[in-house]
Structure 1
Amino acid sequence: MTNTATMRAIQQDTHGSPEVLNEVELPRPVPGMSEILVAVRAAGVNPTDWGNRAQVRTINRLPLVLGWDVSGVVEAVGVGVTVFKPGDEVFGMLPYPHGVGSHAEYVTAPARVFAHKPAGIDHVQAGALPLAALTAYQALVDTADVQPGQRVFIHAAAGGVGHLAVQIAKSRGAYVIGTASAAKHDFLRSLGVDEAIDYHTVDIAEAVTDVDVVLDPLSFDAAGRARSLAVLRPGGTLVTLLPVPVDPAELADIAERGIRFEALLVEADGAGMQAIADLAETGALRAHIEATFPLAEAAKAHALGETGRTTGKIVLTVEETRQAQVAVDALGAVFAGGDATIVDSVVRPDYIQHNPLAPDGRDLQRGGLADRGSEC
């Protein structure tokens, strides 16, 4: 059966500055077994996006469509999917790091990574949450198991992960200390931070003591970890992001001090997304939106993010009317004497396509990225 349905996507064929991002037409994906096809309404832009684009992080092969955050509407479901149906509003994080591709009009992913979007928030808000909120939730809840009254120290508390981590910690009754430049302290207080510290002017090791949990999304070396370890009480927990090699002698010293050290790589998790949905529904968790850009202006979103001066999240939006017009145009082609298989690709998308996002360029008998099991 011929695949004639297409979609817009932001693709890069090489690594480099934001200008390597180009709007292209690609075959519209189709869900495989246990997958859903989502018409994207909004997709967050995260540091891992511009890091991969610039090859600071080399996770996926070219050509590449970036994006792990997604909020949208279920367009079709694969065999075995019963939790969702066409028309459902969903949000989730694609399996990290290889299940990439939400900076497009459509994306497929395993149904297990999604939750129903809370009715009380819009797609921009929902599209901003998944990767950053899951990271914060898995760090503070799944890993550190923050308890009421504990002292939680959050580096970069005004950032994408940080400002959501503050809210999650407060929802669990913690006393929260957060770092940010002085200009962002009012923002931190609005989130519920109990102590705001300007990392430019304050020696953290002298100003902060007896902390139960530190979330440090910034430190990837021994010196950075030492700054966090200095504020922890014996028996405390340090959670960093992205596993990196650590000298055995340093690990031995950390253990001798009675401190638990965990390096977290966020995992796609539908149960975690449901927990985030519950927090968002009650108003306990809300992403601060620094800026939104239409999909075609993804390069501008990357450029803004790379300044390092943003607060909260940047989000790409997809125009719903354009997606609807694609379907209308395809059906119109049928009535004008076009290939009748176009109807199948719009109404019953079960065609075979070449998937340009597959890491090895294989022809897949579906349009989405494989569920590659555990994320690494």
Structure 2
Amino acid sequence: MSRNLIASSIFALTVAGTPLWAQSQTSPPEQKPTPPLARWVEVQNVSVSVRYRFADNSAGTVTTNQVQHRETVRARVKFDAPGQYALNVGTSSGSRFTSGWNNTGIGIGDWQKAQSVRTLYLAARPIAGVEAQYGSMYIIRGESSEITTYDEDGYVIGERVSVRRPRDLFFDEMSATVGYFSSAPTEIGVSKRVKYLDERPNYGHFLVDKKVGTRGGVSVDFTSVGGARTWRAAANLSTRELLVADGILVETYKRTTMNPDYGFAVSITKALTRRVGVNWGYARIDPFYGGLNSDRFNTGKRVFITTTFAISSRLAASAFITTAVGDNVALPHRTLSNLIFSYNVLPDIRRSGLF
């Protein structure tokens, strides 16, 4: 047999043993084009909400009985493709430090349309796990919630450095914030508070947070604002083995100056079904706290329960009620309840193909 015949036979056997899909050149799957603005703008949250709110005080006087609306947007402008350097912005409705809601005119109060840029800050991550922020920022809480810290709608203007390198420094997060704290209703927007960047700081906050595997986390922080010094600690534990609780959060604070006092809260969460969950507990907030924590709780000794229902991937509902128990001083909220419906607009915006 000639060499040419042998070579031809080997080639024929090789081709015959090759799968058909390998013999034909397949075209790569069609890739969706990158949204034109995605390189520069990252939209993180867009939501609209409506709620019915009722509250009475210790004297039994109804102070709130109205339907309210809320619109929020969070986004950032990226100066580089990975987003290590960015300008963050957050807008919200509302005309108070502790509230991002406006009246609809249904019930007590007239129609409101206040909308403000509450947060606007530069963020830089020059190396992995290290971030610096400058401007009007959100308040960080560690494992604590807004019950024993500040309302989630709150803010502070100044600078912050956060380090998240647990393999090198043990703690999952260490942060230091220095700035100016103002809760004045006339200074909700960033433009009204930019002047404080040149003022002597009246606010300092230092926090460490450590995750305990996948079971929970523990945080300790210290805050000094306007002469009031407060220590806080919180522990968040996963307890899925228990029938009555998937998670337990214990948080406490102690103010050491300016009417020294303490407070705490215990919260229990439980998923009843894939769509329905509950959170209930007890809180004790001292009467001199200042009214800047969650506007649902404010001060006093009270029990509370929240039920959440995921109607769809975009629409959610929640019901909350709290009432004062035991001995209390005069309270702005004896009983307070909220019924909220929230719609996530972000998927609709992404469908536009711009972001």
Is the structural similarity TM-score above 0.5?
A: no
Name the TM-score, length of structure 2 as normaliser: 0.26
Q: Which has the higher strand share?
A: 2
Which is bigger in relative contact order (C-alpha 8 A, separation at least 6)? Answer: 1
